[in-house]
Amino acid sequence: MARCFVTRRIPGNAIERLAAEHEVEVWTERLPPSRDALRERVANTDGLLCMLTDAIDAELFAAMPNLRAVSTYAVGVDNIDIEAASGRGIPVGHTPDVLTETSADLALALMLAVMRRIPEADAAVRAGDWLTWEPAMLLGHDLHRATVGIVGLGRIGQAVKRRVEGFGARVLHSGRRDGVALDRLLRESTVVTLHCPLTEQTRGMIDESALRTMREDAYLINTARGPIVDTDALRRALAEGWIAGAALDVTDPEPLPVDHPLLKAPNLVIAPHLGSASHETREEMANIAVDNLLAGLRGDPMPHCANPQVRGSRA
């Protein structure tokens, strides 16, 4: 029986399946464990089930001499030092594919919310500012008339493409052989939606230059990773009218402090990283994460492994 640590409570009954085979400790606080608390809890851990908010770096790997398997409750693994894990022969599991359609749904919802000014409309009604029907009240823009530029045509990008084409929008994309250059996409699109991974090449990619390249009537949607966008440049772009608006499910930093200047920017919609937040998807993610950990602890190939070069793993 292995000792396992789970860094947050997760939906469904997957943890019960893990506990049926191994000793399990779950961090039950609302906020994630601090660095010191995490080091203390994982000192004798054989299996770790972590969240994307946990930095599992080389220093932490060194503090886990018994570690045999890591499974993250996320698609991305940019919070994990894969090289350090692989150097120890530790497989790292993740949850690809499962959240594709749910995340694409949210990207579409954010587009509609910011373009049709839904949060402002809701606030106006609640504040008693809806006195009569007015022809020019809270005018927004049509998605079906838009040119949507998709940056990163992976699984989620393709799912977004299907959705906006269903609305009748024109689609441009970058990041594939038949895509267009990013500069052209930024110049021509009335909606720019980000679906690329966070890498050294994409970190800060949407900076002041990129935002000034966008049209003044364009909207930026980010459901990928916060650091892809230069936060201060976006704040200035919204305040000074370089672009029409933005809708974010991810930010840098994340979460934003309540007094962060970006929150004072006009024409901005922010959600608290809800891309995969449906009952069905989050429970399926939990099952995949636990299946990965159980396999890794048995020495079997993980169903979904981010470092398949480790012996006993498969992609």
Q: Dump pLDDT digits (tens) for 250-268.
A: 999 999 999 999 999 999 9
Cα 40 to Cα 30, 56, 91, 99, 203: the distances in Å are 18, 14, 22, 32, 32
User: Yes or no: is domain 3-98+279-298 CATH 3.40.50.2300?
Assistant: no
Rounded to an integer, what distance in angstroms lies between the CA atom of residue 247 and that of residue 35?
Answer: 31
**Annotated catalytic, 225?**
yes
CATH classification code of 100-270 = 3.40.50.720
Which of 235, 273, 284, 304 does the annotation list as catalytic? 273
Q: Which residues pair with 170 in a beta bridge?
A: 147
Mean pLDDT along residues 224-244: 97
Mean residue pLDDT of the chain comes to 95
Q: Which residues pair with 49 in a beta bridge?
A: 6, 71
**Annotated catalytic, 17?**
no
Which of 68, 141, 225, 235 does the annotation list as catalytic? 225
**Annotated catalytic, 273?**
yes
Q: Residue 313: pLDDT above 60?
A: no
Q: Residue 187: pLDDT above 50?
A: yes
Spatial strand order in the sheet of 3-6: 23-26, 3-6, 47-50, 69-72, 92-93
Rounded to an integer, what distance in angstroms lies between the CA atom of residue 152 and that of residue 144?
Answer: 21
Helix H or strand E segment including 86: helix 82-87
Which token pair is 255? 């979460």
Rounded to an integer, what distance in angstroms lies between the CA atom of residue 177 and that of residue 164?
Answer: 21
The 10s digit of each residue's pLDDT in 73-131 is 998 898 999 999 999 999 999 999 899 999 999 999 999 999 999 999 999 999 999 99
Mean pLDDT along residues 150-155: 95
Q: Going by C-beta distance under 8 Å and a sequence separation of 6 or more, which residues neighbour residue 231? A: 251, 252, 253, 262
Which of 120, 208, 254, 283 does the annotation list as catalytic? 254
Give pTM, 2 decimals. Answer: 0.88
Q: What is the DSSP secondary-structure string of 108-150? A: HHHHHHHHTTHHHHHHHHHTT---S--TTTT----STTPEEEE
pLDDT at residue 265, rounded to an integer: 93
Q: Residue 231: pLDDT above 60?
A: yes
pLDDT band at 175 (very low <50, low <70, confident <90, very high): confident
Domain with CATH 3.40.50.720 in the chain: 3-98+279-298, 100-270
Q: Which residues pair with 156 in a beta bridge?
A: none
pLDDT at residue 206, rounded to an integer: 98
Helix axes 100-115, 155-167, angle to 10 degrees: 50
Supply the DSSP symbol for 261: G
Reported in sequence order, the residue ranges of the chain that DSSP labels E, i.e. its strands, are 3-6, 23-26, 47-50, 69-72, 92-93, 147-151, 170-174, 191-194, 219-222, 245-248, 268-270
pLDDT band at 315 (very low <50, low <70, confident <90, very high): very low
Encode 254-266: b = buried (16+ Cβ within 10 Å), e = exposed.
eebeeeeebeebe
The 10s digit of each residue's pLDDT in 59-78 is 999 999 999 999 999 988 98
